[in-house]
Amino acid sequence: MAAALRGMKAEGGWGVVCTEWCSIHPSSDDLPHPNAALWSDRHIKDQALMTDAVHDHGALAGVELWFGGARSANHYTRETAYDVASIPNLAGHPYQPRSMDKSDIRNLRHWHREAALRAKAAEFDIVYVYATHGYLLSHFLSAETNDRTDEYGGSMENRARLLRELIEETKEAVGDRCAVAVRYSVGGDDGESDTLTTERRDCLEMLAEYPDLWDININNYEREMGVSRFFESGSLEEYMAFVKSVTTKPVVTVGRFTSPDAMASQVRRGIVDFIGAARPSIADPFLPQKIFEGRLEDIRECIGCNICYTGDGLGTPIRCTQNPTMGEEYRRQWHPEIIAQKDSDSTVLIVGAGPAGLEAARMLGQRGYRVMLAEATRTLGGRVTREAALPGLNEWIRVRDYRVQQIEKMNEVEIFRESELNSEDVISTGADHVVIATGASWRKDGLGRSHPFAYAASELQGNILTPDDIMDGQTPSGHTVVYDDDSFYMGGLIAEKICLTGQQVTLVTPADVVSAWCDYTSERFYVQKRLLELGVALQTGFQLVSYNGHDVRVVNTYTDRTLAISANALVMVTARQPNDRLYRALETRWQEDSAIGIRSVTRIGDCEAPALIAASVYAGHRFAREFDIKPDAEMNPRYE
Ligand code: ADP
Ligand code: SF4
């Protein structure tokens, strides 16, 4: 699966395609996080699948040799982890690594060399030494964690000794055929001391000419991998702008770049020699080819939502909001740019122009079908248009804009705005097939994650609002309680939006932390930080009991302790109700009455099952891919 995904990026024009972190030894096992491994010769053929796929399209393949140290709990292998000292497991697991003695260091160097030789045997072109992100080598480099008294501790030169040895030994082992790169961080940790920042620079200067390429980032992964809500693209520049002045070797970094102008500017201004990209290459594997061909308007820009990153914490394959084919290159054999041409002259009516409807229209249009896209409101985009207006989410509008731009170029797709259809309207269009993509609405009745049934009407009285009301422009006045039993991004955003209007806000959630699922998108810390900085009062671990229009009563989820919070309004961020009335009205009718002439009615996206925007885009895409195609063995996903 990973080989097909990476081959696709190479086909899209990226010059170098790298693995994710690649463990060199079983004592550095990161499961359930999905990572590559070169533990033994048997792994060579696995990695060669990727290098072959990448070389087939003329790109170079890179491998990021990695040793986790105190971040590895080794849940799978049950090996003891090693690090510079026996510090706590930094991923929060109840294991500590063993403090490395001289023979452990010798072993590590041997394992690294062996893995490098395997990488060469697997035909990699660039072999990395991974010295960042709070893994083993960062701890050797840092005076804060390295308290050794031998030649690997003390002075900067001593603390950098292991990194230098690994670079030298990797070059000696594979340098005849492979370039050796170092992934290195220059700072950027929240609260990092000036001394540490200076030391990182001193170390880089000391090793400046050792590797063939410097791949620069910052130690704080949540910041480097920052969501667009909190971090702008190119946010690493302030930390790494000095690097090219201290080395003659080429330098690369990342920055969630999607604008060719921003990329060119970094190169022109001497910040980097190469543009690195993870998320932009996920959202659009063909970004380089589109730049090369001058098709800039066809670039599908990353929105910085980090749904791609959730697979890391969940231990599942990668998914992307903007690119529904990501992770499906092998499993469903989807190509991001190519889709089968139409199989019939059927016409399709799509009701609802949210992400599901827009994506279905785009892909059916690309296949050559005649499509009518009806949208109740004047604005296209559905929930994306509404959510992108929330604080910090403006980049999300790209989900709509990319699709509308593509559709507007197609003669096959006709858009009907301000057309709220009922079942008679649908029938009167004469469409052969009907797709209902009418979305979902936030519930008012309190049904949520911790209370999976509605509250009694007597328990909820007074000014009760939903995120839809707030997004529609309603602003409660006076103290407002936002009750978040959804636990993803919406609760925090609604609290922030109301607070920014000058109102006092208390966010109550039955969860132990604010916006718990945002841990998977790497932004939870920043959500809570933002709310605290704005002065939003937080009550975690409290479930809603009732609201009488004056007091919101809540009960502690561990004890029976209740609280009464006086409030003028209560905003319920709990669950969503599918808007499936139209689907229900047509559901059986089209089958029972053949005179209507409709051959299928399908619901997709939130109207079928409310979920992520990524799920709606995927649902629209999948409908269009499979439409009119007879199911056969080839259509079945490969789950192996
Ligand atoms: P999804 O995420 O599944 O695409 P959204 O809620 O984002 O769902 O979008 C649904 C869209 O459907 C909204 O733009 C809404 O205005 C539109 N819609 C809902 N009901 C109708 C209807 N009866 N006729 C036309 N459009 C509708
Ligand atoms: Fe970008 Fe979101 Fe796709 Fe990740 S999931 S690549 S952040 S659009």
User: What's the gap in Å between 354 CA and the centre of ligand 1?
Assistant: 6
Burial 114-124 (b: 16+ CB within 10 A, else e): bbbbbbbebbb
Quick one: average pLDDT of 223-239? 88
Which of ligand 2's atoms lies nearest the C-alpha of 306?
Answer: 7
Domain termination site, one of 155, 185, 215: 185
In a domain, 142, yes or no: yes
- Give me the CATH number covering residue 119: 3.20.20.70
Indicate the pLDDT class of residue 478, thresholds 50, 70 and 90.
very high
Strand pairing category for 569-573 and 480-484: parallel
- Whether residue 385 has its Cβ less than 6 Å from ligand 1: no
Question: Does one domain contain both 571 and 560?
Answer: yes
Q: What is the mean pLDDT of the chain?
A: 95
- What's residue 608's pLDDT? 98
- From the CA of 576, the nearest ligand is 1
Quick one: average pLDDT of 370-374? 98
Task: Name which residue sits closest to atom 5 of ligand 2, judged by CA.
Answer: 320
Q: Name the residue range of residue 614's domain.
A: 347-439+579-635
Residue of 222, 307, 310 best suited for mutating to test ligand 2, as the one with most atoms within 8 Å of CB: 307
Residue of 9, 282, 393 best suited for mutating to test ligand 2, as the one with most atoms within 8 Å of CB: 282
Pocket (CB within 6 angstroms of ligand 2): 279, 282-283, 302-308, 320-322
Please write the tens of the pLDDT for every residue from 199-217.
889 999 999 999 999 999 9
Identify the bridge partners of residue 566 per DSSP, sorted by sequence position: 551
- pTM, two decimals, is 0.96
Q: How many domains does the chain have?
A: 3
pLDDT surpasses 70 at 635: no
In a domain, 385, yes or no: yes
Indicate the pLDDT class of residue 588, thresholds 50, 70 and 90.
confident
pLDDT surpasses 60 at 634: no
Quick one: average pLDDT of 322-340? 96
- What's residue 112's pLDDT? 98
Task: Name which residue sits closest to atom 2 of ligand 2, judged by CA.
Answer: 305
Quick one: average pLDDT of 322-326? 98
- What's residue 197's pLDDT? 82
- What's residue 639's pLDDT? 65
pLDDT surpasses 70 at 188: no
Question: Does one domain contain both 118 and 179?
Answer: yes
Quick one: average pLDDT of 222-244? 89
pLDDT surpasses 90 at 464: yes
Q: How far apart are CA 342 and CA 350, in angstroms?
A: 17
Radius of gyration of the chain (CA): 27
- What's residue 236's pLDDT? 86
State whether the Cα torsion 130-131-134-137 is positive or negative.
positive
User: What's the gap in Å between 304 CA and the centre of ligand 2?
Assistant: 5
Q: How far apart are CA 110 and CA 301, in angstroms?
A: 42
User: What's the gap in Å between 439 CA and the centre of ligand 1?
Assistant: 5
Using DSSP, state whether 372 is helix, strand or coil: strand
Question: Does one domain contain both 597 and 567?
Answer: no
Q: How far apart are CA 125 and CA 132, in angstroms?
A: 21
- What's residue 631's pLDDT? 62
Please report, for residues 65, 138, 165, 181, 473, the alpha-carbon distance to residue 207 in angstroms, rounded to integers and kept in the order given.
Answer: 18, 14, 11, 12, 56
Residue of 230, 233, 259, 308 best suited for mutating to test ligand 2, as the one with most atoms within 8 Å of CB: 308
Residue where the block lists tokens 């998977």: 520
Which of ligand 1's atoms lies nearest the C-alpha of 377?
Answer: 16
Share of the chain above pLDDT 90, in %: 88
In a domain, 497, yes or no: yes
- What's residue 18's pLDDT? 97
Quick one: average pLDDT of 623-628? 95
In a domain, 592, yes or no: yes
Quick one: average pLDDT of 579-585? 97
Long-range contacts of 402-409 (CB under 8 A, 24+ apart): 402/300, 402/301, 402/322, 403/355, 403/358, 403/359, 403/361, 403/362, 404/358, 404/380, 405/297, 406/298, 406/362, 406/365, 406/366, 407/358, 407/361, 407/362, 407/365, 407/373
| Greater model confidence, 207 or 256 | 207
- Give me the CATH number covering residue 598: 3.40.50.720
Indicate the pLDDT class of residue 591, thresholds 50, 70 and 90.
confident
Quick one: average pLDDT of 292-320? 96
Please write the tens of the pLDDT for every residue from 129-147.
999 888 999 999 999 899 9
Please write the tens of the pLDDT for every residue from 72-86.
999 999 999 999 999
- From the CA of 280, the nearest ligand is 2
Question: Does one domain contain both 537 and 554?
Answer: yes
Which of ligand 2's atoms lies nearest the C-alpha of 279?
Answer: 6
Indicate the pLDDT class of residue 632, thresholds 50, 70 and 90.
low
Quick one: average pLDDT of 379-390? 98
Question: Does one domain contain both 51 and 99?
Answer: yes
Question: Does one domain contain both 359 and 505?
Answer: no
Given a contact cutoff of 8 angstroms between Cβ atoms, the answer to whether 544 and 575 are in contact is: no
Indicate the pLDDT class of residue 259, thresholds 50, 70 and 90.
confident
Active-site residue numbers?
A: 135
Question: Does one domain contain both 420 and 504?
Answer: no
Q: Where are the beta strands (DSSP E) in 375-426?
A: 413-416
Question: Does one domain contain both 433 and 480?
Answer: no
